Structure 1
Amino acid sequence: MTIIKTEIPKNSLLKTNNMTYDYIDSFQGEYIDKFQNIGTTEIGKSFFSSGPKWIDKLFAFRNKLIGLFGLKTSGTITNRQKIIDNFKGEKGEQIGLFKVFDKTSNEIILGEDDKHLNFRVSLFIVKQNESKTNKKLIISTTVKFNNWFGRLYFLPVRPFHILIVPTMLKGIIKDIERHNGK
């Protein structure tokens, strides 16, 4: 499976708000939607359920560390699978640190606003014209620093982020194809 660095899609909700960002990245992978039934809700569920264990450990470490500074943490989710199973991807819905900010038929925007920085994650489905079943998934991340601490916080996060996002994208694609009978 090939994951490539790309740009935020031109018609992404992240571009329509005329917001400027301090950090942007986008990664793209392809998948097969055999039954044409994978939408943004299913992609969102896979985003929350398909990450490798080492990412969970990094988030746990992050939560312990930044909790000391009074920043938002994802908290302890006791029944994660039940929450994911009931996830509808509706505006305002939240799983851990990620709140749904917006949703269309081909994109869901997740993220959080905190005192040090605001971030958004776009999960954007690109339907291929030549094939109804071959699709692309683009994960774009934007960060807006609210103060100097946001910049400082993001310095050690950035190298991990560049590793985590392509790994997450591969996991999402494997998960949706597995559930889709590929």
Structure 2
Amino acid sequence: MKIKKTEIPKNSLLCTNNISYDYIDSFQGQFIDKFQKIGTTEIGKSFFSSGPKWIDKLFEFRNKLVGLFGLKTSGKVTDRRIILDNFKGEKGEQIGLFKVFDKTDNEIILGEDDKHLNFRVSLFIDKQNENKTDKNLIISTTVKFNNWFGRLYFLPVRPFHKLIVPTMLKGIIKDIEKQSR
């Protein structure tokens, strides 16, 4: 499965609010939606359920570390499966550290605002291919630093982020293609 670095889609919700960001990246992969039933809710659920265990371990470590500085953590998710089964991807819903900020037919915006930085993750389904079952999934991340601590915090996070996002994108695509069989 090929994952490539790309640009934020021009019609992404992240581009429509005239905010300048301190960090931006986007990665794209292709998936087959055989029955044309994969939407933003399914993509959102896969985002939370298809990552490898080592990413969960990194988040646990992050939560322990940043909790010492009074930053937001994802807290304890005791029954993740029940939460995911009930996840609708509606504005205001929260799973762990990620809140749903917006949703359209082809995009869901997740993220959080904290005292050190604000971040958004766009899960964008690009349906522009000739073949209606072949679609691109683009994950874009934006970060806006609120202070010097945000910049300092993001220094060690940045290299991990560039490793984690493509890995998660592969996992999401494998998961949604499994659903589409």
- For the superposition of Structure 1 and Structure 2, which TM-score range results when normalised by the shorter chain? over 0.9
Alignment gaps of 5+ in structure 1: none
1:164 match: 164
Return the offset for 1:179: 1.2
Structure 2, unaligned runs of 5 or more: none
What per-residue deviation string (whole Å, max 9, x for no partner) do you get for residues 43-98 of structure 1?
A: 00000000000000000000000000000000000000110111000000000000
Whole-angstrom distance in 1 between the partners of 2:129 and 2:140: 22
SS across alignment from 2:115:
coil
Q: CA–CA distance in 2 between the matches of 1:46 and 1:77?
A: 16
Deviation at 1:123, TM superposition (A): 0.1
Determine the C-alpha separation between the residues in 1 that align with 2:14 and 2:44: 17
Q: Kindly report structure 1 stretches of 4+ aligned residues shifted beyond 4 Å.
A: none
Identity of aligned residues (%): 86
Question: Number of residue pairs matched?
Answer: 181
Distance 1:151 1:174 in 2: 34
Whichever residue aligns with residue 112 of structure 1, its letter is: E
Q: Deviations over 1:133-174 (max 9, x none)?
A: 000000000000000000000000000000000000000000
- 1:73 counterpart = 2:51: no
Tell me which amino acid in the other structure corresponds to 2:50: S
AA partner of residue 114 (structure 1): D
For residues 74 and 152 of structure 1, the distance between their equivalents in structure 2, rounded to whole angstroms, comes to 20
- Between the aligned partners of 1:128 and 1:173, the Cα distance in structure 2 is 17
Question: 1:40-119, aligned counterparts within 5 Å?
Answer: 40-119=40-119
Secondary structure, aligned partner of 2:150: helix
